[in-house]
Amino acid sequence: MKRLILAAALLVAPMLAAQPVSIPTLQVCNAGKVNGVANLYLSRRDDINTAGTIDITVSDVTCDPQSSSPYPTGTITMRFSLTESTISDMQVTLVEQMTTVGKHTPTTYMNGRCTANGGTVPCHFWLMFVDNKVLSVDTPPDVVGVLVVDRLGNRLAYGTGPIKTGDISITPF
């Protein structure tokens, strides 16, 4: 009986370990443009060694699927002074996906490749920008969310919060 169970287990084990083949989703962008310079202050990420800040510069990050080059382009740099962050800066090297949604509070989601700590650490990023348009008493500030991981998926930096100073402008086409 034990041999029969062992034989059945050896037969079934490879089938359980095999992963089904899946086709990844297409990463087609929709039309939009993001620009701005902003500073976030995250009080919970501030301590004696860090300022609790993320500084962001976004220059002409654009995707227009109707153009001759229907891929996202532009420049994004970030500086981090946060608890739980193992990097001090990040430079986007390739925006692989960019999706812009909304009219009244346009929001852009993007991800891609980057380098951190002066180009010495290869990484991947995920970003969200929310443009709340005109800042007034009734309107919240723009919002930024970021996650940066190394090539093994280990978190290097993260943070989400309102912009303290500056402005992120999102223009859906």
If we measure between CA atoms, which residue out of 33, 34, 71 comes closest to residue 56? 34
Element (H, E) at 126: strand 121-130
Element (H, E) at 53: strand 51-63
Interacting residues of 82 by C-beta distance below 8 A, sequence separation 6+: 42, 45, 50, 52, 53, 54, 157, 159
pLDDT of residue 103: 87
User: In this model, does residue 102 exceed pLDDT 50?
Assistant: yes
State mean pLDDT over 2-30: 59
Per-residue pLDDT reduced to its tens digit, 112-162 = 999 999 999 999 999 999 999 876 667 789 999 999 999 999 999 999 999
CA-based torsion, 71, 148, 102, 62: positive or negative: negative
Put simply, whether the predicted model's pTM sits higher than 0.75 gets the answer yes
